[in-house]
Amino acid sequence: MTSQLGASDRTRLRRMKERERSERADLDAVLAAGFVCHLGAVVDGTVMVVPTVYGATADTLYLHGSVASRSLVAAPAQTVCVTVTHVDGLVLARSVFEHSVNYRCAMIYGVPRLVTSDEEKLTGLRVVTEQCAPGQWDYVRRPTRKELAATSLLALSLDEASVKIRTGPPDDGDGPDAELGLWAGIAPLVTTWGEPIPDPLLPADLPVPSHLRNAFAR
């Protein structure tokens, strides 16, 4: 696996090139930091952008959904665009024009394939599950054949992708607006997990499993 992102005309940045990241490690970091993506595809002649959960391996993005999902049914016949975005804060400047957002964003292009074998489907579902809640796959019951048949899983290569990252303060600190005497800076956005809340139908003495305590109770 190359250490550089695969470049193409679709992934080439045409503006704000200083935000472009070309290292494969940057893509891996953006994907590892989340588990919700947006799948953009054309469905019945109309562009549809659908949020769904994902899991990433070294070379593949697995997208999970129902066999009744129109976007997942249509996607294998076309080039799609999948995006993953993390907002790190608002950049509050001295003028409305200079306001911005600190973020990390990845875009992946390609023609996904529908996973049809039960073996790979189980592998992909494990990847998705572990991306969301590490340790959960080995803790809960595995899918039955009937449940596998009701589940769609797409596999999308990570060969064609771009990453954009914006960090830092407003860009107007050394311009004319600096003389206005207005506050400017960053309002950070930090997402954290809360304490796990048990199903009210659980026995009162059933503890939260250790893998969930480690992942979420921070």
Query: pLDDT tens digits for 98-111?
Result: 999 999 999 999 99
Tokens of 22: 């070309």
Look over the chain and give the mean of its residue pLDDT values, rounded to a whole number. Answer: 91
- The DSSP element (H or E) to which 51 belongs, if any, is strand 46-56
Integer Cα distance of 63 and 125 in angstroms = 9
What was the pLDDT predicted at 69? 85
Q: Give the closest residue to 72 by CA, choosing from 155, 186, 162.
A: 155
**Overall size of the chain counted in residues:** 218
Query: pLDDT tens digits for 180-190?
Result: 999 999 999 99
| Residue 82 confidence (pLDDT) above 90 | yes
- Residues facing residue 105 across a β-bridge: 85, 164
Integer Cα distance of 11 and 160 in angstroms = 7
What was the pLDDT predicted at 145? 93
With beta carbons less than 8 A apart as the criterion, state whether 127 and 41 touch. no
Find all residues with CB under 8 Å of 79, minimum gap 6, and list them. 109, 110, 111
- The DSSP element (H or E) to which 107 belongs, if any, is strand 100-110
Percent of the chain topping pLDDT 90: 77
DSSP state of 59: S
| Residue 164 confidence (pLDDT) above 90 | yes
Integer Cα distance of 23 and 59 in angstroms = 14
Tokens of 195: 């304490």
Cβ neighbour number for residue 118 with a 10 Å cutoff: 12
Q: Give the closest residue to 50 by CA, choosing from 32, 74, 28, 30.
A: 74
| Residue 210 confidence (pLDDT) above 80 | yes
Higher pLDDT, 77 or 11: 77
CATH class of 17-188: mainly beta
| Residue 196 confidence (pLDDT) above 70 | yes
What was the pLDDT predicted at 215? 83
| Residue 13 confidence (pLDDT) above 70 | no
| Residue 141 confidence (pLDDT) above 90 | yes
Q: Give the closest residue to 6 by CA, choosing from 80, 81, 107, 75.
A: 107
What was the pLDDT predicted at 70? 86
